[in-house]
Structure 1
Amino acid sequence: MTSPSPSNMMASNVNPSTMTPSQFRNELTQQDLMNQTAALDTRPGNQMNFSSSAANPSIGEMMGNAINQVNATQKHAGSMSTRYTQGDPNIDLPEVMVAMQKSSVSFQAMSQVRNKLLEAYKDIMNMPV
């Protein structure tokens, strides 16, 4: 007996409106994991083939993209919070809380990456030539 692939599991899920909040969060986590796995797949023919040096983004571009993604996440969480407080019936409190937590975690991760980059830069600058 083979285990179901993640894509088969996603296709067979029930309607999100009938899920409990914990099932919905688990579903989101599985979806994020599948997206990250697909992005990290480096086989030839996939979107991230590291054989070409011209296609590799610089550290500045990568940090800029990460900052923009964190900013978008924070804006989304802020708009959901505002819509919820204004009484939008399409926004539930668990959705708002999940969006705010994603925003917080992404900002903290971004801050840690920045701190590690600065630490590495300082180490390199202090190396004797």
Structure 2
Amino acid sequence: MQIGANSLLQEMQTLSGEIKPNGLTSGITQQVANTSGSDFGQLLSQAVGSVNSLQANSSSMQTRLDMGDTRVTLSDTVIAREKASVAFEATVQVRNKLVEAYKEIMSMPV
């Protein structure tokens, strides 16, 4: 299966119009849209940093909820945890695709 960077970006932009903007989807799609000429490593680093910040936020909200902070609700905590979980799963899938592509390239005859 061939996936081009431009077709993937167009697909993401199309899907971003169908998704209601929130902290997770709008932030990641803006990062992808703004990095048209930047390095792939930098893009990957930004994406991992975004996932890390979502997980840190989720952990912080969980701790605050456990400590009895009245400003944090259970629903907000669950939503933050699910955002972090979805972002992490997407990162794992991207990693799996990259490893698969690398193996395929390395197995090509020269």
Per the normalisation by structure 1, the TM-score is 0.61
For residues 27-106 of structure 1, what are the structure 2 equivalents within 5 Å? 30-32=20-22, 35=26, 39=30, 47=34, 50=36, 56-106=37-87
Q: Computing the radius of gyration over CA atoms, which structure comes out larger, 1 or 2?
A: 1
CA deviation vs aligned residue, 1:8-35 (integer Å, no higher than 9, x gap): xxxxxxxxxxxxxxxxxxxxx6223983
Q: Superposition RMSD on alpha carbons, in Å?
A: 2.6
Structure with greater contact order relative to length (CA < 8 Å, sep ≥ 6): 2
Structure 1 counterpart of 2:42, one-letter code: E
Percentage identity across paired residues of the two chains: 38
Matched pairs, number: 90
Q: CA deviation at 1:87?
A: 0.4
Matched with 1:121 is 102
Question: Which whole-Å CA distance do the structure 1 matches of 2:96 and 2:39 have between them?
Answer: 18
Structure 2: gaps of 5 or more residues: 1-18
TM-score by length of 2: 0.71
Deviation (angstroms), 1:57: 2.0
User: CA 1:61 to 1:101, structure 2 compared with 1: closer, same or farther past 3 Å?
Assistant: same
1:59–1:34 Cα change, 3 Å: closer
